[in-house]
Structure 1
Amino acid sequence: MQINRRNVLIAGAGALAAAGHLPAMAQAYPAKAVKIIVPYPAGGATDIIARMVAEKLATKWSQPVVVDNRAGAGATVGAEAAARSAPDGYTLFETTSAHTISASLYSKLSYDPIRDFNAITLVATVPLALIASPKVPARTLTELLAWAKKQPGGVSIASTGNGTAQHLTAELFKKRTGLTTVHVPYRGDAPMITDLLAGQVDMAFVTLSAVLPHIKTGKLNAIALAHNRRMSAIPNVPTCAEAGMPDFVAATWFGFFTPAGVPAALREQIYKDISAIVATPEMTQKLVDMGAEVNNYSPAQFDDFIRTETAKWAEAVRISGARID
Structure 2
Amino acid sequence: MNRGWMRAAFAAAMLFGATAAAQADTYPARPVTIVVPYPAGGATDMIAREVSQRLGETWKQPVVVENRAGAGTTIGAGSVARAKGDGHTLLMTTSAHTISGHLYKGLPYDPQKDFRAVTLVTKVPLVLVVNNDLPVKTLPELLEYLKTHGEQVNFASPGNGTAQHLSGELFKIRTKSGITHVPYRGDAPAITDLMGGQVQMMLATATAVLPMIDSGKLRALAVAHDRRIQALSDVPTFAEAGMPDFEAATWFGLLAPASVDDAVVEKVYRDVSALVDTPQMRKRIEDMGGDVMNSGPADFEAFMREESEKWGNAVQASGASLQN
TM-score calculated relative to the size of structure 2:
0.84
One-letter code aligned to 2:149? Q
| Aligned length, in residue pairs | 307
Residue aligning to 1:163: 161
CA distance in 1: counterparts of 2:174 and 2:24, whole angstroms = 56
Deviation at 1:182, TM superposition (A): 2.7
- Find out whether 1:42 has 2:57 as its counterpart: no
C-alpha contact 1:80 1:111 (8 A) present in aligned 2: yes
Deviation at 1:164, TM superposition (A): 2.8
Give the 3-state SS of the residue equivalent to 1:206 in structure 2.
Answer: strand
Counterpart for residue 209 of structure 1? 207
Deviation readout 1:128-171 (Å, 9 max, x if unpaired): 11112223333322222122213374643333343332221111
Cα distance in 1, alignment partners of residues 147 and 228 from structure 2: 27
Describe the superposition over 1:262-294 as per-residue Cα deviations: whole angstroms up to 9, x where unpaired.
333332222111000111112122222322222
1:28 corresponds to 2:25: yes
Corresponding residue number in structure 1 for 2:115 = 117
Map of 1:244 onto structure 2: 242
Rounded Cα–Cα distance in structure 2 between residues aligned with 1:77 and 1:164: 14
Deviations 1:228-274 (A, max 9, x none): 22111110111112222233222222100111133333322221110
Q: Is the 8 A contact 1:162 1:322 kept in 2?
A: no
2:101 to 100, 103, 112: 103
2:220 is aligned to 222
Q: Deviations over 1:30-55 (max 9, x none)?
A: 15123322222333332332232222
Q: Given residue 234 of structure 1, which amino acid in structure 2 is its aligned partner? A: L
What corresponds to 2:254 in structure 1?
Answer: 256
Q: Write the mapping of 1:110-149 to structure 2, written as runs, cut at 5 A.
A: 110-149=108-147
Q: Let me know the Cα RMSD of the aligned residues.
A: 2.7
Change (3 A) 1:305 1:229: farther
Q: Say which SS state the counterpart of residue 257 (structure 1) adopts.
A: strand
Stretches of structure 2 lacking an aligned partner (at least 5 in a row): 1-11
Contact 1:87 1:259 in 2 (8 A): yes
- Which has more radius of gyration? 1
Task: Give the distance between the partners of 1:32 and 1:196, measured in 2 at CA.
Answer: 43
Q: Percent identity?
A: 55
Distance 1:268 1:217, change over 3 A: same
The normalised TM-score by structure 1 is 0.84
Unaligned runs of 5+ in 1: 1-13
Could you give the per-residue CA deviations for residues 59-82 of structure 1, whole angstroms, max 9, x where no partner exists? 222333333333332221221121
**Aligned-partner Cα distance in 2 for 1:154–1:236:** 29
Alignment-derived partner of residue 282 in structure 1: 280
The C-alpha deviation readout for 1:148-199, integer Å capped at 9, x for no partner, is 2133746433333433322211110111222232333344434433443344
